[in-house]
């Protein structure tokens, strides 16, 4: 009987240790298997374009975005881009990156998100310090809002200059993509068919400026809301449509009450899924 006591005590001890374990996040692959940060980094390093999908207020996602580009910088030549800066602010962004204006001037002249200082400035400043290209990839919000109200045709009346801040017209659009169908369902039918069209203008434009600034041999890391690339749709649909032979990697960020097993609805959302404890403090 005594020979069974020691193994039993060891098992109890291990279970107690696991019960006390408090990970802030766990990374999974697309099949829901736990993987390491090093494995995710290796896959990103082997890609041409990586779409890093975040929850906009997730501190863990923002921290990992910064850590990944720091670590990738030693392995690959990088180009960075982000949803969070709109294409008509590229001039101001370039002036800041090149030291022609300071942070205060950049804050004043560009339309920066309210959480820019805490969540995105570290990425931009890393690019500045490392002399990297950082691309403002998103369509100006006012034009996406116009599409939400009146459809794609409203873009035809824009000036030639304004049209340079978005994907070329007419923009391709597939209303049967599950992500766009889900938008309509989430809105309960309110907003009609124009709501997903507005989303598509963002996806198409982010893909367009990513490919326009992609340099062969470089890894282009793009930061965007996870919904823009989840389930290999959105931005990725446009990227693959225009450049199917490039190697793409997608990352998504999700929150769960229990992070030690990926929930069924989150399996397959991306090549890598960062599962964050839902009690994690948010940035806003």
In tens, the pLDDT along 225-277 reads 999 999 999 999 999 999 999 999 999 999 999 999 999 999 999 999 999 99
CB contact at 8 A, 40 and 27 = yes
Q: Which domain holds residue 162?
A: 30-277
Q: What is the pLDDT of residue 186?
A: 85
Contact in structure between 23 and 277 (CB atoms under 8 Å): yes
SS3 219: strand
Q: What pTM did the predictor assign?
A: 0.92
Q: Is residue 13 part of a domain?
A: no
Burial class (CB in 10 A: 0-12, 13-18, 19+), 228: buried
Cα separation, 280 vs 108, in Å, equals: 31
Give the Cα separation of 240 and 84 in Å (integer).
Answer: 22
| 11 found inside a domain | no
Residue 62's domain is classified under what CATH number?
A: 3.40.50.11550
Picking from 241, 242, 206, 212, the residue whose alpha carbon sits closest to that of residue 227 is: 206
Per-residue pLDDT reduced to its tens digit, 107-141: 999 999 999 999 999 999 999 999 999 999 999 99
Q: Domain total for the chain?
A: 1
Residue 22 belongs to some domain of the structure: no
How confident is the model over 59-69, as a mean pLDDT?
98
**Domain-embedded: residue 12:** no
CB 27 within 8 A of CB 252: no
The answer to whether residue 7 is domain-embedded is no
Is residue 256 within 8 A of residue 279, CB to CB? The reply is no
């Amino acid at each position: 009987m005594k020979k069974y006591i020691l193994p039993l005590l060891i098992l109890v001890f291990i279970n107690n240790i696991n019960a006390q374990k408090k990970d802030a996040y766990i990374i999974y692959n697309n099949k829901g298997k736990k993987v390491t940060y090093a494995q995710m980094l290796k896959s990103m390093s082997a890609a041409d374009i990586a779409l890093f999908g975040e929850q906009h207020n997730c501190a863990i996602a923002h921290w990992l975005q910064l850590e990944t580009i720091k670590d990738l910088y030693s392995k690959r030549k990088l180009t960075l881009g982000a949803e969070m800066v709109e294409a008509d602010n590229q001039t101001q962004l370039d002036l800041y990156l090149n030291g022609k204006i300071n942070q205060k001037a950049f804050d004043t002249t560009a339309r920066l998100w309210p959480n820019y200082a805490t969540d995105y400035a570290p990425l931009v400043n890393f690019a500045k310090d490392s002399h990297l290209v950082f691309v403002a990839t998103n369509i100006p919000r006012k034009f996406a809002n116009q599409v939400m109200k009146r459809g794609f045709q409203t873009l035809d009346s824009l000036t030639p200059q304004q049209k340079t801040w978005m994907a070329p017209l007419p923009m391709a659009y597939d209303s049967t993509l599950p992500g766009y169908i889900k938008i309509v369902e989430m809105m309960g039918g309110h907003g009609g068919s124009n709501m997903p069209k507005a989303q598509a203008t963002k996806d198409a434009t982010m893909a367009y400026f990513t490919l326009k600034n992609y340099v062969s041999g470089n890894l282009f890391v793009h930061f965007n809301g996870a919904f823009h690339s989840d389930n290999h749709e959105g931005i990725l649909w446009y990227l693959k449509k225009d450049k199917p032979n490039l190697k793409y990697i997608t990352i998504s960020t999700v929150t769960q009450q229990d992070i030690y097993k990926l929930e069924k609805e989150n399996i397959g959302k991306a090549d890598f899924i960062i599962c964050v404890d839902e009690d994690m403090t948010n940035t806003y």
